[in-house]
Amino acid sequence: MDVVVPAEFEHLYVHDEDHPVVKIPSQVLRKTATEITKLSNRHKLLAENMVRIMNKANGVGIAAPQVGVSERIIVIAPERRPIVLVNPVIVKHEGSQVGEEGCLSIPGLYGDVERFDTVEVEAYDIKGRPLNYEMSGYAARIVQHEIDHLDGILFIDKVDEKTVHWQDPNRERDE
Ligand code: ZN
């Protein structure tokens, strides 16, 4: 769906040093992010920066394109403790769930999205060690939302348009 930001939410779409999350319609959010072939200190700093920005924005997940870096790295924090995933891939999925989502790059907009209920994700940690997680429910929803960001996909591409609504984002946590 096309998003028209209501006037009373426009102030949330500022992008500057104090508001470092990239917002729509920035094109970096629509690019396919590059796979990381060699981890360096730059990625460690990037991940730390992403965690800091996510926490400051009260998010439960963030993807590198949302801080302007088109590389395949995400942070998820379903239980507040951040997990960094490099080159994450869903290798198996099961069932489906419908639940409300928001996005730090589309502040104020919420709506229901259908996702897989359970996913198995393969990735690497920031030191390049292989990781394998099985996630269900809320954690599975967050990781699918963030991996979509790496493919230039936003939740507004999948949202049930009948459920879309605007509300003050400071009232809840966003992906
Ligand atoms: Zn998002």
- Give residue 5 CA to ligand 1 midpoint distance, Å: 16
102 Cα–ligand 1 center, Å: 7
Output the pLDDT for position 8: 94
Residue 103 and residue 24 in contact, taking contact as beta carbons nearer than 8 Å = no
Q: Which fold has domain 7-166?
A: Peptide Deformylase (3.90.45)
Intervals of the chain under pLDDT 70: 171-175
pLDDT computed for residue 101 by the predictor? 97
pLDDT at site 155:
98
Query: For residue 172, what pLDDT is reported?
Result: 56
pLDDT digits (tens, 9 = 90+) for 36-49: 999 999 999 999 99
Domain locations in the chain as residue ranges: 7-166
Looking at residue 158, what is its pLDDT?
98
Q: What is the pLDDT of residue 70?
A: 98
Ligand 1 center to residue 55 CA distance, Å?
14
CA gap 68, 22 in Å, rounded: 6
CA dihedral 169, 170, 172, 173 (to 10 degrees): 80
Q: Encode pLDDT of 68-94 as tens digits.
A: 999 999 999 999 899 999 999 999 999
Of the residues 79, 146, 161, 175, only one is catalytic, namely: 146
Q: 90-127 burial, b for 16+ CB within 10 Å, e for fewer?
A: beeeeeebeeebbbbbbbbbbbbbebbbbbbbebbeee
Q: What is the pLDDT, as a whole number, of residue 175?
A: 56
In the residue annotation, 146 being an active-site residue is answered as yes
**The pLDDT of residue 169:** 83
In whole angstroms, what is the distance from residue 65 CA to residue 87 CA?
A: 13
CA of 128 to the centre of ligand 1 (A): 24
